[in-house]
Structure 1
């Protein structure tokens, strides 16, 4: 009878270890950490349905998914767990009062220990030795599989990180417009880091101001964003070290909305040029790996970003008159030709400062330049963002109003004329010639300029300080003089 029982025990053990082999194969085939953790609990429940079990993990991040997972913490109340974690050896604990026994089995890989498996057996005062051996083997298998899954996860993350850096660097070096480049970069960062807000900033030459660069998310253009921008700016004014903040607290700002902050300076040739900010409302949202990736991304992008900024500034210089800060005539010509290809109509205004030579002779060229700037500023304040103010040449300035009819253009010219007469110092006046085009006329931009120039000539010849409209009966039937 004794021999039959022993044979039955051996069969049970054989089945159990056969099961262990199958479990190990399943563990190793699972390369997602969260799926593997779930599989460990499924296995424990199948083999030991009457036991209780927990995993105490030291992993940086994982999804609980309602599994009995606990953060492994160093404290005096958990010494058995700490002993198992530090020694790599199984630890036992029993309680006659609660009538249960506990086993703590380390989850060991080849290079590290990733946590501890806690198994509780009810209604016994000593953990069964046979089950302890089996659970030890099971925990070793789970630890090795967990290490394998983590290595796979890290490899996938490294590949993803390199792809992000490569794609962003390629975009930055592709000579695309700065706004388009930074918008692309912002989108890449939001997707990769699951950030809610992404901002790019440039320091002024004295590093006292931080300007928001287009491509930043819209939040950074609001007043609420200033507390975060000013706080980070102040930190970088003190030190060029990157910032990784898990739960932001700003002095005298008790109602902080965004708690997780990562900020990295843009440093070129050891000089602080700007910085980037990434934010999320949840505390401790970003893992440290994300912080390291952001530093690498900004580091790789710094030179290309600076080149893009310089290229953008150079383009502005090419299309901008250095004195008046209005557009250049070349830029105006190009925009009018584009408009005449796609729009239905438009109005052109040519403006000349009356008696400008006498002003230069009387007050000097410096005052003459100041007057040009005054008139240019009045023009900029009188037109929309989609309109184009330009330096035509000498004391002549110009405005093009796409999709604007002649009567509206005349009203704008008259408003500018009145403002110049009322606000200029020293007092000056201007004369304006106005012309327009319509799609059905089959017009040319050279002829559009010619009509405005002739109208301006008549304004100068008939008393100055007035607006004169194009005279061409084949095009329009407006009065010659207002």
Structure 2
């Protein structure tokens, strides 16, 4: 080799070494390696043999490392950290495999192919070894830098999420927050939070994305995951799902939500692209779900307790106290509303003839009819004994009467044994001096008149 050429090459090595040490970007390090080779060996062919993590660098000659019998020299270089040479007599080429080696491991293999020669010069081997070792150290430093940054970001994510979930959020708020965090951090297409109920029933929690709320294909995914988790008691990480006509997703992560020794449900993360999630991402999801499950369980228990406090245990309608609170709140914020007081006609005869168990069942039937015929934000409640009540916020009197008349008809048609109801309807409007007590009194007087004039009907008392 000409001394001038050798001097120029080592000057190039010094220049690229300085660049390596000033960069903490792995992509930039790999590009510098290739640029140096292009300048020093313009007539050679070369490839970077790396793991699949670097496949996104499409503008560089990168191949994925293959660990098989056809690539023994590559495997040897990667495993031993020593340069390997391979001669091909048929096409008169010599191939050198130089490991990109740092202090803690080997991060890839540099493949250089020399044309029209069967002997790789020793001085070239020394230069390539220096270049590969320098690049390996730079890759290692960049990798450690990114790992430390990622660990800090992961800890921040877990800390922020745990803090939010422990700040007494409603269940829907907590789950929506979790979903947004996972989609933002993992760039996932779909996120689902599934509770396992008895008898193979699944409940999709708030925060789950459209696939888990609308697409029936998610049931097969959940069934398969539930079966696997029950059998193996482990999280699931799949990088390349087989294509299925039911779902279009190739990457899957599933982490069980466990409280104590009880399997409560599972968090599922999906993406349409294969190998969309790294193993580090999977470990982060496991940690995130582990730290969040207790807070989510507390949210569910708190809301269940709240529901028990404001719910009548027999009819599953709201309690009278809750009804009173909602009417008082509505009178402060709304312009008008209607109130219906309902009484089961001759209910004592039902209890006397069929027994109290059948009487309770009839009450539950009427409660279900009420729930089926009011809006989600209307309030159906048990007033006391066989009396029930409905408050319709922002509903004018004619519409309130229509709801009551529909209930009278439905109850007579749908109950077994057949019963009828009488309804008293009251109404309030902003600007008139009124209170919940006066509203109740008007509806009660209207109900009294309905009962006294034949029953199975609706009556209205508009004035005090």
Q: Give the TM-score of the pair, scaled to structure 2.
A: 0.93
1-side partners of 2:199 and 2:265: how far apart?
A: 9
2-side partners of 1:316 and 1:219: how far apart?
A: 29
Aligned length: 463
Cα contact 2:217–2:246 (8 A) shared by 1? no
Query: Which aligned pairs between 1:150-189 and structure 2 lie closer than 5 A?
Result: 150-189=143-182
Cα contact 1:459–1:466 (8 A) shared by 2? yes
Cα contact 1:437–1:443 (8 A) shared by 2? yes
Cα contact 1:248–1:256 (8 A) shared by 2? no
1-side partners of 2:31 and 2:328: how far apart?
A: 65
1:131 aligns with 2:108: no
Query: Following TM superposition, by how much is the alpha carbon of 1:254 offset from its aligned partner in structure 2, in angstroms?
Result: 4.8
Residue 441 of structure 1 aligns to a residue whose secondary structure is coil
Query: Following TM superposition, by how much is the alpha carbon of 1:287 offset from its aligned partner in structure 2, in angstroms?
Result: 1.6
2-side partners of 1:81 and 1:442: how far apart?
A: 89
1:65 aligns with 2:58: yes
Query: Counterpart of 2:310?
Result: 319
1:363 aligns with 2:354: yes
The structure 2 residue matched to 1:89, chosen from 82, 85, 92, is 82
Query: Which aligned pairs between 1:7-86 and structure 2 lie closer than 5 A?
Result: 9=3, 12-58=5-51, 60=53, 63-86=56-79
Residue 77 of structure 2 aligns to a residue whose secondary structure is helix
Higher mean alpha-carbon deviation, 306-315 vs 81-90, is at 81-90
Query: Following TM superposition, by how much is the alpha carbon of 1:14 offset from its aligned partner in structure 2, in angstroms?
Result: 4.2
Residue 200 of structure 2 aligns to a residue whose secondary structure is coil
2-side partners of 1:156 and 1:300: how far apart?
A: 21
The structure 1 residue matched to 2:430, chosen from 425, 429, 439, is 439
Q: After superposition, what is the alpha-carbon deviation per residue over 1:314-372, rounded to whole angstroms, capped at 9, x for unaligned? A: 11111211110111222222222333333332211111112233433443332222121
Q: Do the aligned partners of residues 40 and 437 (structure 1) sit closer, same or farther apart at CA in structure 2, a change above 3 Å counting?
A: farther
Q: Do the aligned partners of residues 114 and 320 (structure 1) sit closer, same or farther apart at CA in structure 2, a change above 3 Å counting?
A: same
Q: After superposition, what is the alpha-carbon deviation per residue over 1:95-138, rounded to whole angstroms, capped at 9, x for unaligned? A: 45434433211100001111111122334432233232112111
Query: Counterpart of 1:228?
Result: 221
Q: Do the aligned partners of residues 442 and 242 (structure 1) sit closer, same or farther apart at CA in structure 2, a change above 3 Å counting?
A: same
Q: Do the aligned partners of residues 343 and 309 (structure 1) sit closer, same or farther apart at CA in structure 2, a change above 3 Å counting?
A: same
2-side partners of 1:141 and 1:64: how far apart?
A: 21
Residue 456 of structure 2 aligns to a residue whose secondary structure is coil
1-side partners of 2:353 and 2:39: how far apart?
A: 101
2-side partners of 1:322 and 1:341: how far apart?
A: 29
Query: Counterpart of 2:282?
Result: 291
2-side partners of 1:239 and 1:78: how far apart?
A: 36
Cα contact 2:256–2:265 (8 A) shared by 1? yes
2-side partners of 1:61 and 1:291: how far apart?
A: 18
Cα contact 1:107–1:143 (8 A) shared by 2? yes
Cα contact 2:445–2:461 (8 A) shared by 1? yes
Cα contact 1:33–1:62 (8 A) shared by 2? no
Cα contact 2:427–2:462 (8 A) shared by 1? no
The structure 1 residue matched to 2:458, chosen from 438, 443, 467, is 467
Q: Which runs of 5+ in 1 are unaligned?
A: 1-5, 474-482
Q: Do the aligned partners of residues 444 and 40 (structure 1) sit closer, same or farther apart at CA in structure 2, a change above 3 Å counting?
A: farther
CA RMSD of aligned residues (A): 2.2
Q: After superposition, what is the alpha-carbon deviation per residue over 1:215-239, rounded to whole angstroms, capped at 9, x for unaligned? A: 2112212222211112212223333
Query: Counterpart of 2:325?
Result: 334
The structure 1 residue matched to 2:394, chosen from 398, 403, 407, is 403
Cα contact 2:257–2:289 (8 A) shared by 1? yes
Q: Do the aligned partners of residues 422 and 83 (structure 1) sit closer, same or farther apart at CA in structure 2, a change above 3 Å counting?
A: closer
The structure 1 residue matched to 2:366, chosen from 367, 370, 375, is 375
Q: Do the aligned partners of residues 438 and 47 (structure 1) sit closer, same or farther apart at CA in structure 2, a change above 3 Å counting?
A: farther
Query: Following TM superposition, by how much is the alpha carbon of 1:34 offset from its aligned partner in structure 2, in angstroms?
Result: 2.2
2-side partners of 1:272 and 1:401: how far apart?
A: 40
Higher mean alpha-carbon deviation, 269-278 vs 239-248, is at 239-248
Higher mean alpha-carbon deviation, 145-154 vs 81-90, is at 81-90
Higher mean alpha-carbon deviation, 177-186 vs 255-264, is at 255-264
1:199 aligns with 2:202: no
Query: Following TM superposition, by how much is the alpha carbon of 1:462 offset from its aligned partner in structure 2, in angstroms?
Result: 2.3
Cα contact 1:108–1:144 (8 A) shared by 2? yes
Q: Which runs of 5+ in 2 are unaligned?
A: none
